[in-house]
Homo-oligomer: A and B are copies of this chain.
Amino acid sequence: MSLAAVLARLDRDLDTNARRLFDWLAIPSISTDRAYAGDVRRAAAHLVDDLRSMGFEAAARPTPGHPVVVGHRRRPGRPHVLFYGHYDVQPVDPLELWTNPPFEPRIVEIEPGRKAIVARGAADDKGQIMTFLEACRATIAETGDLPISLTVLVEGEEENGSINLPAFVEANRAELQADLALVCDTGMWDRGRPQITSSLRGLLYEEIIVRAADRDLHSGHFGGTAQNPIHILARIIASLHDAGGRVAVPHFYEGVHETGANRLAQWEALGLTEADFLGTVGLKFAAGEKDRTLIEKIQARPTCDCNGIWGGYTGEGTKTVIPGEARAKVSFRLVHDQDPQAIQQNFRAFVAAQIPPDCSVEFIGYKGSRAVQVREDSPELRKAVAALKEEWGVEPVVLGHGGSIPIVGDFKRVLDLDALLIGWGLDDDRIHSPNEKYDLANFHKGQRSWARIIDALGT
């Protein structure tokens, strides 16, 4: 059986594969710092060479920023998979908190019997990319080919907001056409249980500017007679949620689907408590909607948060000012079929109705993206679940993620592509922080998992 041979090769080649990853990790491809632009190009070229060595037709493609690496290994008639990752990394400050230099990767025993690769990019995202590519390399070596048609798309600006990627995808729409996207920038439920991220929340981000008097006023003279824009804004923010914790913007819940009892029961069985989830950040009790379970709130319910508020005097000491304006930033996380445009309209009308007649409001609209939902009845999802169960011996968790990965929305919008989000990150990986690490076991079993998934997708 060829899959067994592939898995055996991955077991044998673990050290070799780790050293190959080390060579790439040693290139400081920090995308947000112009000083590293040459290193970013070098990291792209390194990947192109590696892809070519595996038989890919690959190139570093120019953008107005850092290049995008695209590689194809076509197998006409087979399912076509688009794999996405990013080869750029976060800055490394504060450098003095690193135990080892961030671009001198090494294997460290972080607790008895548990080894990890420590370096910037170990988990986010070079390590995750190589986990997938080693599975491909072993499959090709043992079987002579991949059972799927594969396009690899690896950008160099994810840590800088993927600013040039959507335009690149638009411009290369025909070339990037596929049947399914694989996204590896995610994590496991815990060290023993893999996770398939089945949804990502959408996002609507708005700034509100409430204006009253045409200048700052002295509260001794005008207190009690002039409108105070901070009061108006505070009432608006306070009115965004009702007493039950629901978002009070009219029609906000249109397009939100109820989670089935079975699915809720599965989530409950995971046993995540409020104390576990919130205790890590110094809180105890879940806020938000009163009649929803914790996991449901995290990933299947929409939310609204004020992310910033400011107005008046914010320095040391006192100033008795009634400011002329006050501002707030408000974002909504969206799920299922919620329509960001409709919510933006309803939100703005809801706010405007609370503005006194001699005051005014201005809105700045930043972002609107729909939620991304993986079809739970898709054959690809079922194949991935079975492959993961085979490798790990437990049922994988199929769970939404509360955040947003905008490129997944772009794949859907531009390429009409559903995504399967599978990754081997852990909560303690310290991505974006000093001493970023990637468990060696995850690197290893992640390769084996991908080999199984690739095999399953090809049949």
Contact = CB atoms under 8 A, between A and B. Distances in A.
A223 B402 contact: yes
Contacts of A402: 220-224
Interface in A292-346: 294, 297-298, 301-303, 305-314, 317-323, 326-329, 331, 333
B309 A312 contact: yes
Contacts of A4: none
Residue from A217, A312, A318 with most neighbouring chain B CB atoms (10 Å):
A318
Interface string A220-256: 1111111110110111111111000000000000000
A223 B303 contact: yes
Interface in A356-387: 356-359, 366-367
A92 B286 CA distance: 54
Contact of A311 (B303, B308, B366, B404): B308
Given A224-B289, A301-B224, A308-B311, A366 B318 contact: yes
A103 interface: no
Contact of A226 (B225, B281, B327, B356): B281
A288 interface: yes
Interface band, chain A: 35 or more
A288 B281 CA distance: 40
Contacts of A233: 234, 309
A310 B307 CA distance: 11
Residue from A230, A286, A313, A359 with most neighbouring chain B CB atoms (10 Å):
A230
A312 B404 CA distance: 20
A234 B306 contact: yes
Contact of A285 (B238, B331, B356): B356
A281 B403 contact: no
Contacts of A357: 284-285
Interface string A87-112: 00000000000000000000000000
Contact of A306 (B228, B289, B306): B228
Contact of A320 (B222, B225, B226, B331): B331
A215 interface: yes
A225 B286 contact: yes
A84 interface: no
A403 B219 CA distance: 8
B237 A230 contact: yes
Contacts of A298: 221, 224-225
Given A281-B215, A306-B234, A227 B404 contact: no
12 contacts: A205-B318, A219-B307, A219-B331, A220-B333, A220-B403, A221-B298, A224-B288, A230-B328, A234-B236, A234-B306, A308-B314, A308-B321
Given A231-B240, A234-B234, A234-B236, 20 more contacts: A205-B320, A217-B281, A219-B303, A224-B287, A224-B303, A224-B402, A225-B278, A225-B294, A230-B306, A231-B306, A238-B239, A284-B358, A307-B319, A309-B309, A309-B311, A310-B310, A310-B311, A312-B329, A318-B329, A319-B329
